[in-house]
A = this chain, B = another copy of it.
Amino acid sequence: MISVNPGHNEIRVFENDPDLIIKGGMIITMREGQNPIQEGEIFIKNGKITRIHASETESNSGYSHAEIINAKDAIIMPGLINAHTHTAMTLFRGLADDLPLKQWLFEKIFPAEARFLNPDTVYVGSLLGCLEMIASGTTSFIDGYFFQDATVRAAHESGLRALIAQGVIDFPAPGVDDPEKNLKVAKEFIERWRGFSDRIIPGIFCHSPLTCSKQTLKDAWEISQQFDLPLQIHLSETAGEVNEILKKIGKRPVHYLEEIGLMDDGLIAAHAVHLDDSEIECLKENGVRIVHLPESNMKLSSGVARILDMVKKEIPIGLGTDGCSSNNNLDLFQEMDTAAKLSKVFSLDPVALNAETVLRMTTTWGASVMGMGDQVGTLELGKKADIIVVDLRGPNLCPVYDPLSALVYTASGADVKDVIVDGKVLMKDRTFTTLDANEIMERVKRISKEIMI
């Protein structure tokens, strides 16, 4: 018998029978210092984890009303957290690849967004993104885009957990023709969705320190503070952008944001590729949350973020896929593999960014970036039941000497078998339970035919 949580955690917390049992798999809780449980069961009741125990300790034969997830020859682990994406951009997946950055953005992506985004297309694109995230083991995501009512609706229907932020940019944007109104739209978005669902947190996403004025940034910050919500921003993604801010303002982006009051643990900074030492120190001192997006940074040739330096300083770092027009998928398993390997070759150190560290980025650290470190990111009693089951029966996952290594360096999203969020099963044996995959894909294909013309 393997003792999971010596002492108090072994007793059942709730008196009632579980309504869901995941049984027979290796349990990786991602709790600091806890070894995998070679074979165990997890009980779930009312969306929360009520018991975790090694299989030998108890039979579940008494819980005849519980739904059973069979995790034999599988790993049971926390669902992954995609800390930065633009979900509806699945619509533009593969529309414009292998192009120079400016041509990609100004001749392809921006015109496509201007022409084809509306509440309907964003809804359908977001549904597709949610499908893909469920299919690859993501249970929570942080999103920033436009027409975000539609993304809220899609995420809500999918059953996923999400921090969904309305995009703010000082240019005419999809759904916000008049940039003067961008903050008003964002504030109303927050007011509309705050408290709507336990799984959906609304927020603001400022496009970048270059595309938002100082006043816009300050006002967006104030609104976020007023509602006690984090503010997302694209930070120092490209060298060109850093140089432009330096030229315009005389400071590097982090110090500019510091000057105007945005350096704070309420800030979620995505990319953070081009930072100098003083900027990393500043991010650390102010508790800023970072999102690493290695595949997007590689594909758009933005550069390689100094992740090792940030990990050393214990800055909270999540991992994200970015939108599908710069990746081109939402598979966090492949992203973890790339994150680890890119750090190793970039630092010329094979020990750099090991498997456990990148798994932290998609679980415990990702939960902190989302502001939900006390609720998701590990499997432990009382936490929300956001859980995935990774099938080990494929030849690619044989043998397994080290399960963390198998998850990071070998598995892909396609190895995920079951997905549970808030105790609700969203995918069982690779069959979606909340969304109609065929219908969604047919709708996306119809939209894509118009876009292609």
List residues of A whose CB falls within 8 A of some B CB.
90-91, 93-95, 97-101, 104, 128, 131-132, 135-136, 295, 297-304, 327-331, 334, 337-338, 340-342, 344-345, 347-352, 354-355, 393-396, 398-402, 405-406, 409-410, 412-415, 437, 440-441, 444-445, 447-448, 451-452
- With a cutoff of 8 Å between Cβ atoms, the chain B residues found around residue A400 in the complex are 94, 448
Cross-chain contact B351 with A100 (CB below 8 angstroms) = yes
Cross-chain contact B327 with A401 (CB below 8 angstroms) = no
Cross-chain contact A350 with B399 (CB below 8 angstroms) = no
Cross-chain contact B448 with A341 (CB below 8 angstroms) = no
In the complex, A104 Cα to B405 Cα: how many Å? 14
A-B contact pairs, 8 of them (CB 8 A): A94-B405, A98-B340, A99-B350, A135-B396, A295-B341, A297-B345, A301-B347, A399-B447
- With a cutoff of 8 Å between Cβ atoms, the chain B residues found around residue A344 in the complex are 298-301
B135, B352, B412, B451: which contacts A334 (Cβ < 8 A)?
Answer: B412
Q: From DSSP, what is the main secondary structure of chain A's interface residues?
A: helix
In the complex, A210 Cα to B335 Cα: how many Å? 35
Counting chain B CB atoms within 10 Å of each CB, the highest count among A128, A396, A415 belongs to A396
- With a cutoff of 8 Å between Cβ atoms, the chain B residues found around residue A90 in the complex are 395, 398
- With a cutoff of 8 Å between Cβ atoms, the chain B residues found around residue A327 in the complex are 409
Q: Which residue of B lies closest to A357 (CB)?
A: B98
Counting chain B CB atoms within 10 Å of each CB, the highest count among A94, A301, A447 belongs to A94
Cross-chain contact A328 with B99 (CB below 8 angstroms) = no
In the complex, A342 Cα to B441 Cα: how many Å? 31
Cross-chain contact B396 with A101 (CB below 8 angstroms) = no
Q: Smallest distance from the beta carbon of A82 to chain B beta carbons, Å? A: 14
Cross-chain contact A398 with B298 (CB below 8 angstroms) = no
Q: Smallest distance from the beta carbon of A394 to chain B beta carbons, Å? A: 7
Q: Smallest distance from the beta carbon of A200 to chain B beta carbons, Å? A: 21
- With a cutoff of 8 Å between Cβ atoms, the chain B residues found around residue A303 in the complex are 345, 348
In the complex, A441 Cα to B391 Cα: how many Å? 14
In the complex, A448 Cα to B97 Cα: how many Å? 42
- With a cutoff of 8 Å between Cβ atoms, the chain B residues found around residue A393 in the complex are 441
Known pairs A95-B402, A132-B396, A301-B347. 5 more at Cβ < 8 A?
A: A97-B409, A98-B350, A135-B396, A299-B345, A329-B410
Cross-chain contact A100 with B298 (CB below 8 angstroms) = no
Cross-chain contact A409 with B100 (CB below 8 angstroms) = no
- With a cutoff of 8 Å between Cβ atoms, the chain B residues found around residue A410 in the complex are 93-94, 328-329
Cross-chain contact A299 with B341 (CB below 8 angstroms) = yes
Cross-chain contact A100 with B350 (CB below 8 angstroms) = yes
In the complex, A396 Cα to B444 Cα: how many Å? 12
Cross-chain contact B412 with A99 (CB below 8 angstroms) = no
Q: Which residue of B lies closest to A356 (CB)?
A: B98
Q: Smallest distance from the beta carbon of A44 to chain B beta carbons, Å? A: 26
In the complex, A348 Cα to B299 Cα: how many Å? 9
Q: Which residue of B lies closest to A334 (CB)?
A: B334
Cross-chain contact B396 with A350 (CB below 8 angstroms) = no
Q: Which residue of B lies closest to A130 (CB)?
A: B395
Cross-chain contact B348 with A301 (CB below 8 angstroms) = yes
B98, B131, B338, B402: which contacts A351 (Cβ < 8 A)?
Answer: B98
Q: Smallest distance from the beta carbon of A139 to chain B beta carbons, Å? A: 16
